[in-house]
Structure 1
Amino acid sequence: MKLITFEKNNVQYLGLVKSNKREVVDLNKLGVIEKTMLEFIKSTTGEKLKELSQKAEGVVGEDIERVTLCAPIPVPEQDIICLGINYMDHAEESAKFHNEKFEGERPYAVYFSKRVNEAVPHGGLIESHKEIVDSLDYEVELAVVIGRDAKNVAKEDAYQYVFGYTILNDVSARNLQTRHKQFYFGKSLDGFTPMGPWIVTLDEFNHPLSLKVQARVNGELRQNSSTDKLIFDIPHVIHELSQGMTLKAGTIISMGTPSGVGMGFEPPKFLKSGDVVECEVEGIGVLKNIVL
């Protein structure tokens, strides 16, 4: 099931994309009283999702081309939890860019957070912040949406706490990242979190995941990998983090990016105004944005 947040007449609504992939059904028409995706996630069970999906097929929806998509969770309640250097090939290209020795192993996950005042929707603009950024970069990532509060979760139970998945472009200012020797500022500027185009619920996937992950810039394939190459997978991450913190329902965890980012080329291929960035994850779709 694909769930969206969409806008009409400056009002946001929750929607379900029907199986024909052409129609959107307003969840209010199916008896849903929650007004935001976060409220919906917190109050919804797997059985309720199945019931809504069946009901939606009997309802005439709106043409998906005639609604304005928002990011599925436009304003996350907390910073997004991100995985750094979670594909070995990206670890190698990152070390090369920063003139660091590549050790060839990652015994522990690298976690950082990304501030999001408002996520950028599919079709939205990526702000370039030219006054402070000279090395704007893209990172296609699978993002996990937690469905219920998770504390002390065993690895084998991890997927029971997943609501679904979306696509995230972890836009990064490499000069700020390098200057400050940490991720937070260089990845948290306004307009640096394109997300969407929707959340696809857990039941649509086989686990463990093995999904193609790709990024294109102006039609050129730059990143091309698969989630089965993650160093630390979803069960590991949920288990590890939940030992010391409660992962609240609605938490977004972005699982890291493979090689092929702009800084990995010689010379680097950083983004410029007018560039079209397409991030694709198999089973979810394509998140397309333009650099302002």
Structure 2
Amino acid sequence: MLLFVLTGVITVVVLFLLCLLSVICLDRKAVAQLTNEPALIVSRLRSIAPYAGLLGIVLVANKGLQNVIYDLSMEIGFEATETIYAVEGSFVAFVQAGFPEGMNYYFSFMYVFGYVVLLVFPAIAYFVSDSLEHLKILLTAYGLNYAGGIVCYTLVVAYGPRNHIPEQVSQPLLDLYPDVTTVTSQVNRNTNVFPSLHTSLSVTVFAIALMTRETFPRWFTIATIMSTSIVLSTMALGIHWLVDVVAGIGLAAVSVALGTIIVERS
């Protein structure tokens, strides 16, 4: 029941923000043209179907094999927590100390709600756009990010700073919204920190927003702010190490580059 209520709240907030962004960022004439031509909508859906389908397969595999991946990682995965801590030490504690306590509300909101909005809105915007190329790149890059995450989470076992050094790093998200674990536990485990998918997917959105900044200038500005906030939130909330964030940025760069190549050659 609690999961249903929380999911409903997140859905309502996300839909409101998506509608708000649509008003701010989308060309009304383009939206009107699309809504008045059902055949055009069908044509575009058919065009992106292979890319959306592959992403769907990866997402289903990620969800369906979650327990298998966890069990396998416990058997063959490299325990990297101590290594990561040896590399960066208490950097995350330093990050947390650099922000006033009130910022935790902002970072928590961005981590939970802003993240979903950041991933969904560009798909809407690029679907309305004259060219579907960037939507195809976006969907392909999403799939590559998740596929890369599956591989890394299988081969690398790592616990976040809030779990490894709780005496130095706090967990504001759980302190402010303890029930949020009811939702997050459905899609993630506390050993899935390297790389940070919140970082990789946020940077992926930013990279493609950069490509389309002339067509969607307002979205580029908003995406820059949101993606930066989400990347910072992963450390400010004590969830990820700096190493996880750097790895996430690298995964995003590879995913966008490969996604672009795949779309251009298809």
* TM-score interval for Structure 1 and Structure 2 normalised by the shorter chain: under 0.3
- TM-score using structure 2 length: 0.27
Larger RCO: 1 or 2 (CA < 8 Å, sep 6+) = 2
- TM-score using structure 1 length: 0.26
- Choose between structure 1 and 2: higher helix proportion: 2
